[in-house]
Amino acid sequence: MVQLSNCVFPASVFTATGQTSTTIGLSPNQAGANGAYGVGALSVVGTGLTTATFQVLGSSDGGQNFFALNVAPATSPTSTSITTTVTGNGLYYVDLAAITHIQIATSGTFTATSLSIQLTGSPNGSVIRYT
């Protein structure tokens, strides 16, 4: 099995509800495959964060149509939801199988000065991040 590197994408920063990130293209990955990331880790960091709600939207048709993806907190990976409410900094997982593009959008409640969400994609299906 060839071990490929994870890819850390630029963070999306939000300051209010109703904001959508720029589209993040996931293809090609280091293996040269389109939409071939297995899993993504979302690092969520807030400034003045009380409560914020976000969604991860995925496209499997090259960014033409987007739909909500299931997101799970790292502390409870079987508890998935298409709308995630955070009350503090945390790590979340999203299934990226067959996804070519994503967007992150804030919705519902937003009580924070700013919220930064950074995606790390892994073509091997597991995310290992050294800091």
CA distance to 46, 56, 119, per residue, from 105 (Å): 15, 6, 13
Q: Is 89 helix (H, G, I), strand (E, B) or coil?
A: coil
pLDDT tens digits, one per residue of 50-64: 999 999 999 988 899
Pick one of 1.10.3210, 2.60.40, 2.30.29, 2.60.120 as the CATH number of 7-122. 2.60.120
Residue 77, C-beta contacts closer than 8 angstroms, at least 6 positions apart: 93
> What average pLDDT does the segment 20-25 reach?
89
The span from the CA of 19 to the CA of 9, in Å, is 18
66-89: per-residue pLDDT in tens?
999 999 999 988 889 999 999 999
Residue closest to 25 by CA, chosen among 76, 49, 60: 60
Domain range summary for the chain, segments of one domain joined by +: 7-122
Residue 27 has pLDDT above 70, yes or no: no
Please, how many CA atoms are within 13 Å of residue 2, restricted to the half-sphere of its CB?
5
Q: Structure pTM?
A: 0.83
